[in-house]
Amino acid sequence: MISLPVVLATAALLFAVGVYGALSQTNAIMVIMGIELMLGAAMLNAVGFMRYAWPDAASGAFFVLVVMTLMAVEATVGFALVIAAFRNRRTAELDDLTELRG
């Protein structure tokens, strides 16, 4: 039987996979992938709440649309930053981009 805690626990696992990817990868594109998975977990949470807590409210779908927008914006800005960094430093490896380290 599927219930709200089951959906939320599944989303928690997906979020944790995204956290692992964002922390363990050295390439900026792979870090963006980890963040995409975390946002995917947020969408799954919203769909779970919409289905099991407030099934009559259509506004839950709007939250999912906003997170999808956020995913697209995050990828757009992230790719632009990667291109800018690559033009200047010839690398997208985060370990090499240390100008702001102080």
- Interacting residues with another protein between 21 and 40 (CB under 8 A): 21, 23-30, 32-34, 36-37, 40
Footprint (CB under 8 A) of another protein, residues 66-85: 66, 68-69, 71-73, 75-77, 79-84
Least CB distance from residue 102 to another protein, whole Å? 14
> Does 92 sit near another protein (CB under 8 A)?
yes
Q: CA 41 → CA 10, 14, 22, 28, 83, distances in Å?
A: 8, 6, 14, 20, 27
For residues 91 and 68, what is the distance between their CA atoms, to the nearest angstrom?
A: 29
Q: Shortest approach of another protein to residue 96 CB, angstroms?
A: 11
Q: Smallest distance, Å, CB 7 to another protein? A: 7
CA angle 85, 91, 95 (to 5 degrees): 95
Q: Counting contacts by CB under 8 A, is residue 97 touching another protein?
A: no
Using CB under 8 A as the binding rule, whether residue 17 contacts another protein is answered as yes
Q: Are 18 and 45 in contact (CB under 8 A)?
A: no
Q: For 67, what's the count of Cα atoms within 13 Å in the CB-facing half-sphere? A: 18
Give the residue, chosen from 42, 59, 97, 100, that forms a contact with another protein under the rule CB under 8 A: 59
